[in-house]
Structure 1
Amino acid sequence: MARLAVEERRALLLQAAARVIARVGVSDATTRAIADEAGMSQGAFHYCFRSKDELLRQMLTDLLDHLDRRARNALDATRTSASAGAALRDGLRTLWSELASRENENLVLYELTVVALRSPELNDLPAQQYERYFSIMEQFLRDVAERWNITWTRPVERLARFAVAGIDGLGLSWLVTRDDDTVTGVLHDIACHLQEHAAPAP
């Protein structure tokens, strides 16, 4: 480890922390456990991060950046859909596939969100997190409207929040039930609800 640059050490510690949290949760992911997982000493941990909170902040920021890119790519893939309704269904299904393929990452993200809400050092992050979710979905709905010459009969901000709430809840319930059929049905229902609020543009 002595030859690794600080940024490489930080990356290894972040990866180790994600594995430890997925196994035992945030509260039991001590700096010692994380350092051991990364094959480093606690001194090396504190050389890279001043505290566990600083590491958690970086983890949550990185997870959101990755999720942001994946979500935008998934929703952008609907440019080949045949209609506005198909784009809504295809977009939500593709987005869900991206989320479900990384279940450990999603479990860590849910837990970090709850921990951040309770931490004075981290409680600014969840608001930023959901604003990013809303922004991605709003842009998707605006793109659909522009591409197929429709207008939304409800404020697009509200529709975006409805879609995000549905997908967010599905993600958590799926981690518990692993019920893929229900997920498919609910995603279809969300897309249908959104389509009900689409009208031809004047």
Structure 2
Amino acid sequence: MQYENESNSPSFIERARRAQILAAAVEVVANEGFGKASLARIARQAGISKGVVTYHFSNKDEILEQMVTDYFNRGWEFMEPRINAQPTAVGQVKAWVSSQLEFFTSHPAEFFAMAAVMSNHLNDDGSSRYDNDNQEAVDGLAEILTAGQQEGQLRDFNPARVANIILRSIDGVLSSWATTRGRDDGTMNLTADIEALEDFITHAIEKESS
């Protein structure tokens, strides 16, 4: 029998310090922009030395990647039980839409920071570092759609392509929300947009009763 070597696990203090650094990075990116997110600026935001930052993270790339990973992990922890609580595929898709939009819009600073990092933190060849994250979301939603087809709840279509379209539609609502956030001119009603998107998706995927 093998036992986990607890000495290799980060201590509570180490986890707290890493969380502090990540929170500081979020604030810098969200408030000052991606280009300002240097190790020195993150350290200053956190109220610690740059040496403390590099003790916990090898470089800025690691911080930014961990920011995105943590955000998506917490988002999925919020979404998963709401999705699984629905007994039908249509209900699960609608729960995916509403819970993702609820989580993202309830954490605006982190959302704007995450969006900035994903748009600007690229590989050397200009490709996105986060294609795998996007593909995992497509695959997860496509799995729900496939199960719904197999159970006779949904009509015939390509699950992966439709999953991608649904996720891009969520991005569209988020883009509108981000653009109009803080304005009180009636140009954006998030609740109404979520309901309209859910209604549109339901009509697009649900199998017509004979």
Describe the shift of the 1:108–1:87 C-alpha distance in structure 2 as closer, same or farther (beyond 3 A).
Answer: same
Shift of 1:197: 3.3
- In 1: Cα distance, 2:126 partner to 2:64 partner: 8
| Alignment match, 1:94 | 99
- In 2: Cα distance, 1:39 partner to 1:122 partner: 33
Shift of 1:18: 1.0
- In 2: Cα distance, 1:50 partner to 1:42 partner: 11
- Which of 27, 43, 46 is the equivalent residue of 1:19? 27
Does residue 48 in structure 1 map to residue 53 in structure 2?
A: no
Q: Is the 8 A contact 2:176 2:188 kept in 1?
A: no
Describe the shift of the 1:123–1:15 C-alpha distance in structure 2 as closer, same or farther (beyond 3 A).
Answer: farther
- In 2: Cα distance, 1:8 partner to 1:186 partner: 36
Shift of 1:183: 6.2
Q: Is the 8 A contact 1:71 1:95 kept in 2?
A: yes
Identity across matched positions, percent: 21
Structure 2, unmatched stretches of 5+, are 1-10, 182-186
Describe the shift of the 1:135–1:67 C-alpha distance in structure 2 as closer, same or farther (beyond 3 A).
Answer: farther
Name whichever of 24-33 and 131-140 sits farther off.
131-140
Name whichever of 179-188 and 101-110 sits farther off.
179-188
| Alignment match, 1:32 | 40
SS of equivalent to 2:154: strand
- Which of 158, 161, 164 is the equivalent residue of 2:164? 161
Describe the shift of the 1:187–1:159 C-alpha distance in structure 2 as closer, same or farther (beyond 3 A).
Answer: farther
Letter in 2 for 1:192: F
SS of equivalent to 1:164: helix
Does residue 114 in structure 1 map to residue 119 in structure 2?
A: yes
Q: Is the 8 A contact 2:28 2:41 kept in 1?
A: yes
Shift of 1:74: 3.2
Query: C-alpha offsets along residues 109-136 of structure 1, whole Å, 9 cap, x if unaligned?
Result: 110111123x429955321121122123
Structure 1, unmatched stretches of 5+, are none
- Which of 120, 129, 136 is the equivalent residue of 1:125? 129
Shift of 1:89: 4.2
SS of equivalent to 1:199: coil
Query: Where in structure 2 are the equivalents of 1:45-84 lying within 5 Å?
Result: 45-79=53-87
Describe the shift of the 1:143–1:123 C-alpha distance in structure 2 as closer, same or farther (beyond 3 A).
Answer: same
Cα RMSD (Å): 3.1
Q: Is the 8 A contact 1:152 1:199 kept in 2?
A: yes
Aligned residues: 195
Q: Is the 8 A contact 1:116 1:125 kept in 2?
A: yes
Tell me the TM-score normalised to structure 2 length: 0.76
SS of equivalent to 1:151: coil
SS of equivalent to 1:27: helix
Shift of 1:154: 0.9
- In 2: Cα distance, 1:142 partner to 1:201 partner: 18
Shift of 1:106: 1.2
Q: Is the 8 A contact 2:57 2:63 kept in 1?
A: yes
- In 2: Cα distance, 1:197 partner to 1:183 partner: 21
